[in-house]
Structure 1
Amino acid sequence: MADTFDLVILGSGPGGYVAAIRASQLGLKVAIVERERLGGICLNWGCIPTKALLRTSEIYHYMQNAESYGLKADNVGFDLAKVVDRSRKVAGQLNAGVKGLMKKNKVTVVEGVGTVTAKGKLSVKQGDKTVELEAKNIIVATGARARDLPFAKADGKTIWTYRHAMVPTEMPTKLLVIGSGAIGVEFASFYNDMGADVTIVEMLPRILPVEDEEVSAFMDKALTKQGITLLTGTGLEGLAPSGSGVTAKIKHKDGKVVEETFSHAIVAIGIVPNTENIGLEALGVETDRGHIKTDGYGRTNVDGIWAIGDVTGAPWLAHKASHEGIIAVEKIAGGSPHQMDKANIPGCTYSRPQVASVGMTEAKAKEAGYELKVGKFPFIGNGKAIALGEAEGFVKTVFDAKTGELLGAHMVGAEVTELIQGYVVARQLETTEAELMETVFAHPTLSEMMHESVLAAYGRAIHY
């Protein structure tokens, strides 16, 4: 006899477990199926533990530069095993927190490998045992995994994915990072600050290619200044273990292929959605290059089957998954939620310096036919930034010149991943330049640069 629920969620990442909590709040009887650890990739192997590592490298950087703050820190070093252990403990603490939330919200947790066997039916394999579940609605929140190079699969020894890079048993001496999206740049930043000789290879013309061009250009200079070698417009034609390291065949802009040996390589070239072998094909669920096609509420083309998070496509972000989960559940419960607006989803890169953005880049806004007002304000013009010793970076805002609509905001510098939310709220509230100009920003704060950037777009900047 199958256990019956109003909703079964396949996958407990930031999309799945948030959806489960909201469903319980709305009075639905909910079960969540997880094959590994509650919290999914983000909590256990992604967002959270990587930020713990990056915090370590940030502090290590400050310790090495203590004199600039009038401090002394002699014989600075680190214990790699303890660095990794701290990161894993942070993930473990949050995993336990999700378990507590499931219990508090009376969500039934079913451990095992789930497969959708028919509309409203799901089978969970638990070793030699199989559990059958039934539900009016099923949400697929199975996430994604790292994409391998077609000619060199990660071995966990010298060729790493992000999962291997988070739990190193040895410190790379000469590291190749393949791909310059957020994951690639974050790991490059971490390992560079910890003392590795780092090279980034990117086949596109610039690093962080989804960001505003001025942000990419700034990051290029900043990372180069830190000692990272950046090879843009460059291809990788081969990667193979070689002795105690790896040998890469790198095709440079001029077409010349050069062989170079590294101690380790991190492959950060994107993700593959986890849509195989979970029963979607038999039901006729439509996909696009492996990603499940959904409407603005998370509905698929098959009645009663919903999908959220990385499995549905870009942007592959935890907060996008969580919001999609809430929208889907509220729709299932008979509510009238707003459809997902991907233009209001912020993107963050937690490197040194940090990068954050929301909405259109200047180039995209021009392509869309807008007449623009663009403002820019540098960190060097902000008192708090100077006091922090973090005077490199800028805030950029892009407005529709005709209506004053905030089309996009782009930041690079210290703590911008925290600052960006101000502009996200502004876009959600459909705020114009007038309201932003009239808003009082506390002094001294980094957030004052947000105000000054808006003022600068209209020729009214005060401090620069």
Structure 2
Amino acid sequence: MAGKQFDVVVIGAGPGGYVAAIRASQLGLKVAIVEREHMGGICLNWGCIPTKAMLRSSEVFHLMHRAKDFGLNAEGIGYDLDAVVKRSRAVAKQLNSGVGHLMKKNKVEVVMGAATIPAKGRVQVKTDKGTEELTAANIILATGARARELPGLEADGDLVWTYKHALTPPRMPKKLLVIGSGAIGIEFASFYNTLGADTTVVEVMDRILPVEDAEISAFARKSFVKQGMKILEKATVKKLDRGKGTVTAHIETGGKTETHEFDTVISAVGIVGNVEGLGLEALGVRIDRTHVVVDEFCRTGVEGLYAIGDIAGAPWLAHKASHEGVMVAELIAGKNHVHPVRPEAIAGCTYCHPQVASVGYTEAKAKEKGHEIKVGRFPFIGNGKAIALGDPEGMVKTIFDAKTGELLGAHMIGAEVTEMIQGYVVGRTLETTEEDLMNTVFPHPTISEAMHEAVLDAYGRAIHI
């Protein structure tokens, strides 16, 4: 039996897959999407969106405690963790059903079940009702990734949690250990620390938020310590002894191992691609450390088979997946002038308190690439809006090529920087120079003026410092 015929079958309905399906349909292709669990994938259901809802609750809680600073009175401040989680799940549910609606609107056929690719151009889906056969000249793999589990540190949902458990916690941690200080680890550390958990973060690298510029990492560390977090860098959790209601962590720093007691551990040590059970090896797909090897256009080397998003490697970000989905759909439809998605053009955002955002090269990376650079910095304490908001802790850092004036990188920490980074992203896409940015009139009073001043500072022209 040939099965149902399509132009494109997308496997995985996360922000990569569902966007690829919509774009392919817009371009007149007949599309099916296969999803084994939730429309919207991890991002909508268990990642980007519900974590932001929870972090918003902790941000409001933090502000309530500062009411007096703003001339306000707030008494009997408290929280209901179940209600915080309930709101977060409701936000995720709303968006999940929104994706279902978008599939209908764009005439994308949804098949719920687990997919395998028995041969080129064929997809088998194991559904509740049996096996369904789909055929298509083009298949897009968008199966995403899951939490990496280290031997001996595996999650049990009780004492040791992954991000999923941390989003629907069985209780409020009193003494929390977070293993890993990338975006996921730091966001959960920030959330639970703000709600009153005694929080320790362990990072194997020499600094927290290791993908960020070193100066931003140092600023973040200082802020987190001020908020009461304990940060252990160049440290490894060797093993966890699980008892009744307690975990003893053996943490090695500087060749010395010490034991520390916790009641909860969150493991956030990276991700692994969902490459198993699809039949990829038999098709001749190359897999490197759980990720599918692709070229700049997300082609796997197997004719008609593409891989996008987390399964296709770093940066593991939803917006990267979505843009790759659009790019692949346009390639399949035969569009001209399709641009590859360049990793250095993709902004990274971490929604801890203070927020962190960056695009392009760090100072170290720019030097390593042989650029002669000019660096500008501007502190939030020199920005009127940040002071008026009561959030003067932060900075913007810009890195330019000294010869050409090209904006090589921008790095920020502080209030609302995740919303502001887009200014620099657009600038880099338009190949802006320092002159364009200096001549741009930024509205006053806004925190974004700090972005202007950081550019001016790189050329010795800052006004407010």
Give the TM-score normalised by structure 1: 0.99
Say whether 1:77 aligns with 2:73. Answer: no
1:95 CA drift (Å): 0.3
- Please list, as runs of the form range in 1=range in 2, the aligned pairs for 1:321-360 lying within 5 A after superposition: 321-336=321-336, 337-360=338-361
Determine whether 1:139 maps to 2:140: yes
Whole-angstrom distance in 1 between the partners of 2:247 and 2:106: 48
After TM superposition, the structure 1 = structure 2 runs for residues 238-387 of structure 1, keeping only pairs within 5 Å, are 238-253=239-254, 255-336=255-336, 337-387=338-388
* 1:121–1:132 Cα contact (<8 Å) kept: yes
> Counterpart of 2:156 in structure 1: which amino acid?
D
Shift of 1:54: 0.2
SS at structure 1 position matched to 2:116: strand
Provide Cα deviations, 1:173-222, integer angstroms capped at 9, x if missing partner: 00000000011100000000011000000111100011000000001100
Tell me the residue number matched to 2:452. 451
Structure 1 window deviating more from structure 2 (97-106 vs 239-248): it is: 239-248
Cα distance, 1:127 vs. partner? 3.2
The separation in 2 between residues aligned to 1:186 and 1:455, in whole angstroms, is 32
**Residue identity matched to 2:230:** T
Counterpart Cα distance in 1 of 2:230 and 2:280: 43
CA contact (8 A) 2:153 2:267 kept: no
Q: Give me the whole-angstrom Cα distance separating, in 2, the residues matched to 1:339 and 1:55.
A: 34
What is the CA distance between 1:240 and its match in structure 2? Answer: 2.9
Looking at structure 1, the residues matched to 109 and 62 of structure 2 have their Cα atoms a distance apart, in angstroms, of 44
- Distance in structure 2 (CA, Å) of the matches to 1:251 and 1:293: 34
Secondary structure at 2:375's aligned position in 1? Answer: strand
- C-alpha distance in structure 1 between counterparts of 2:97 and 2:129, whole Å: 27
- Asked if structure 2 preserves the Cα contact closer than 8 Å seen for 1:81 and 1:169, the reply is no
How much has 1:245 moved relative to structure 2? 2.0
- Checking the alignment, whether the CA contact within 8 Å between 2:397 and 2:410 is kept in structure 1 is yes
- Say which SS state the counterpart of residue 296 (structure 1) adopts: coil
Q: For residues 423-447 of structure 1, what are the alpha-carbon distances to aligned partners after superposition, in whole Å with 9 as ceiling and x for unaligned?
A: 0000000000010000010000011
Matched, 1:59 2:64: no
Structure 2 matches for 1:76-95, cutoff 5 A?
Answer: 76-95=77-96
For residues 238 and 295 of structure 1, the distance between their equivalents in structure 2, rounded to whole angstroms, comes to 39
C-alpha separation between the residues in 2 aligned to 1:350 and 1:222? 14
Counterpart of 1:401 in structure 2 is: 402
Q: How far has the Cα of 1:128 moved from its partner? A: 5.2
Amino acid at match of 2:232: L
| Contact 1:349/1:356 (<8 A) preserved | yes
Output the CA distance in 1 between the equivalents of 2:398 and 2:129: 57
Give the aligned partner of residue 159 of structure 1.
160
**CA deviations over 1:317-365 (Å, ceiling 9, x no partner):** 0000000101111001001311121110000000000000000000111
Asked if 1 retains the 8 angstrom alpha-carbon contact of 2:376 and 2:458, the reply is: yes
1:121 and 1:134 in contact (8 A); partners too:
yes
The 3-state SS of whatever aligns with 1:356 is strand
SS of residue in 2 equivalent to 1:235: strand
For 1:55 and 1:413, the matched residues in 2 are separated by 15
How far does residue 64 in structure 1 lie from its aligned partner after superposition? Answer: 1.1
Q: Secondary structure of the equivalent of 1:221?
A: helix
Residues 231-256 of structure 1: CA deviation (Å, up to 9, x unaligned): 00111110132111211001122x22
2: CA distance, partners of 1:295 / 1:328: 12
State how far apart, in whole Å, the 2-side matches of 1:258 and 1:362 are: 35
**Which residue of the partner structure matches residue 102 of structure 2?**
101
Amino acid of the residue matched to residue 259 of structure 1?
Answer: T
**1:358-394 deviation per Cα after TM superposition (whole angstroms, max 9, x unaligned):** 0000011111111111000000000000000000010
Question: Which residue is equivalent to 2:27?
Answer: 26
1:47 corresponds in structure 2 to 48
Letter in 2 for 1:192: N
Computed over aligned residues only, the root mean square deviation of the Cα atoms, in angstroms, reads: 0.7
Opposite residue 340 of structure 2, the aligned amino acid is Q
Distance 1:272 1:158 in 2: 22
- Count of residue pairs the alignment pairs up: 463
Residues 285, 301 of structure 1: 8 Å contact kept: yes
Structure 2 SS opposite 1:366: helix
Please tell me whether the aligned partners of residues 345 and 360 of structure 2 are also in contact (alpha carbons under 8 angstroms). yes
DSSP-derived class of the 1:377 partner: strand
Q: Which runs of 4+ in 1 moved over 2 A?
A: none
1:456 Cα deviation after fit: 0.4
What letter corresponds to residue 28 of structure 1 in structure 2? L
Q: Which residue of 1 aligns with 2:37?
A: 36
CA distance in 1, matches of 2:392, 2:129: 60
Contact kept? 1:236, 1:249, Cα under 8 Å: yes
What secondary structure sits across from 1:72 in the alignment?
coil
CA–CA distance in structure 1, aligned partners of residues 396 and 442 of structure 2: 15
Counterpart-to-counterpart distance in 2, 1:128 and 1:322? 31
Report the equivalent of 1:430: 431
Q: Distance in 1 between matches of 2:153 and 2:251?
A: 14
Unpaired runs of 5+ residues, structure 1, are none
Question: Taking every aligned residue pair, what percent have the same amino acid on both sides?
Answer: 64
Q: Is the 8 A contact 1:152 1:240 kept in 2?
A: no
Counterpart of 2:93, as a letter, is G
Contact 2:34 2:113 in 1 (8 A): yes
Residue type matched to 1:136 in 2? A
* Kept after mapping to 1: 8 A contact 2:310/2:321: yes
Residue-by-residue CA offset, 1:47-74 (whole Å, 9 max, x unaligned): 0000000000000000111101111110
Q: Indicate whether 1:201 and 2:172 are aligned.
A: no
Cα displacement string for residues 25-68 of structure 1 (whole angstroms, at most 9, x for unaligned residues): 00000000000010000000000000000000000000111101
- Matches of 1:93 and 1:386 in 2, distance apart? 35
Aligned to 1:177: 178
In structure 2, give the amino acid aligned to 1:445: T
Q: What runs of 5+ residues in structure 2 fail to find an aligned partner?
A: none
Larger mean Cα displacement after TM superposition, 135-144 or 122-131: 122-131
Instruction: Tell me, yes or no, if the aligned pair for 2:119 and 2:283 is still in contact at 8 Å.
Output: yes
